[in-house]
Amino acid sequence: MNKDREKAILEIAIKEKRVTVKNLAQRLYASEPSIRRDLSSLETQRLLKRTHGGAVLDENALSEIKIPFLIRELEKSDEKVKIARKAAELVADNSVLFLDASTSAYNLVPFLAQKQNLLVITNGLKTLQRLAEQNIACVGTGGRVLNSSMAFVGEESYRTVAQFNADYFFFSCRGLANGLLSDISQQENLVRQEMLRHAKAGYLLCTSSRLGKVFYHNLCTEKDITGVIDAS
């Protein structure tokens, strides 16, 4: 198995929804037998479904499992940038923000760099790094890191969040249906709930892929937040 090639295949599948062995072999400079083995491995991981001559993206499975951060970053990436731009317009200078570990919040960071005198508290390891790179004052919650989502979780993260009162909380989750927000990760939801309790305003960054979906762990209701920001 070639993990780098598997990642490349998955990136292509997320963008194009369907892949063929022949096309992948040409694009990735690999033999067709090697590509078939990669597709079998990805199917075993419940990321793709094999078809005759190729594979298709397993949309349901992708929603149900913990998708690696780098792969989630590719999902609806153009839509997430539009949402991030809209969200940043709400932020005033001299504000305190909470950001969760979602890739939607991660995409907000470059737009925050245009603001003055912000302080951002996040449980996202990648988001924390990006904030520092943009020279934005930031605090990481600390805690145990979930390798799949690069999120800090656990008691330490709750304690850190509770030390701050934020003006805004921007976050995402896997599902929004019938006024209920839900996710696959109870541990990340617990951090989000703590952030929501300590923020004046909470906004869901919502791509179209979240709508109409319900997952294992409830986060809150739509009435509990200030608003939903989409790309429309």
Over the stretch 47-88, which tens digit does the pLDDT of each residue have?
789 999 999 987 665 544 455 555 555 555 788 999 999 999
Coil, strand or helix at 74 = coil
Domains of the chain: 3-64 (1.10.10.10), 71-229 (3.40.50.1360)
Write the Ramachandran bin of 212: left for phi over 0, alpha for psi from -120 to 50, otherwise beta.
left
Long-range contacts of 23-31 (CB under 8 A, 24+ apart): 23/54, 24/54, 30/2, 30/5
Residue 179 DSSP SS3: coil
Q: Can you tell me the mean pLDDT for 79-107?
A: 96
Q: Give the model confidence (pLDDT) of 22-44 as tens digits.
A: 999 999 999 999 999 999 988 88
55, 43 Cβ separation under 8 angstroms: yes
- Residue 198: pLDDT above 60? yes
Which pLDDT does position 61 carry in this prediction?
53
Instruction: State the average pLDDT over residues 212-232.
Output: 94
The residue with greater pLDDT, 164 or 185, is 164
pLDDT at 148 over 90: no
Q: What is the pTM of this model?
A: 0.74
